[in-house]
Amino acid sequence: MDVRLRPAQERDLPLFYQWQDEEPYWERYSCRPVQLVHPYPAFRARYAEALSGGELVFSVLADDDVVGRMVAFDENPRNRSMEIGYYLAAQARGRGIGRAALVVFTGILFTWPGRRLHKLYATTSAANVASIAILEHARFSLDGRLREHYLIDGQWSDQLFYSLLRREWQP
């Protein structure tokens, strides 16, 4: 299977919007308050604002079908770091696509012209075993834990912090 990334395009946004509406587990994927954006014109405007504000949004393609997205945001120029996040549509999960896409994404970010990032980092719930596997496959290291930081389906879960330093990254 051919897994690649490309910058998100306007034509991808209806699919991103559809995922937002059809995903029953958004609360499991973020410790931030989930704010679904409706209607579609507001969703589209939110993406335009995010992209103009420095977020990097890439579409994940598997055999030419858009099956997910990778995002880098909250760039800290002083520390030369950025947070990353990712989402795969249900039909793409469990097939190694997320692992392959994150490896490609780290390469894009660490070699981005004009940016000399020192570190990428991500957070996930300790209950999100798939996300942990994706991060560890891409050589991210567990840096820390906020105990009982996520409330998911009435259960407390720790928030895990992972990072990858530029010197640890292998092209």
Residue range of the domain that includes 155: 3-168
CA triplet 135, 160, 100: central angle to 5 degrees? 10
CATH classification at residue 140: 3.40.630.30
Residue 26 tokens, joined? 């958004």
**Contact criterion met (CB below 8 Å) for 164 and 106:** yes
Percent of the chain with pLDDT over 90: 75
* pLDDT tens track for 42-87: 989 988 888 787 899 999 999 999 999 999 999 999 999 999 999 9
Name 68's bridge partners.
Answer: 60, 88
pLDDT at 124: 94
* pLDDT tens track for 151-164: 888 899 999 999 99
Structural domains of the chain, count: 1
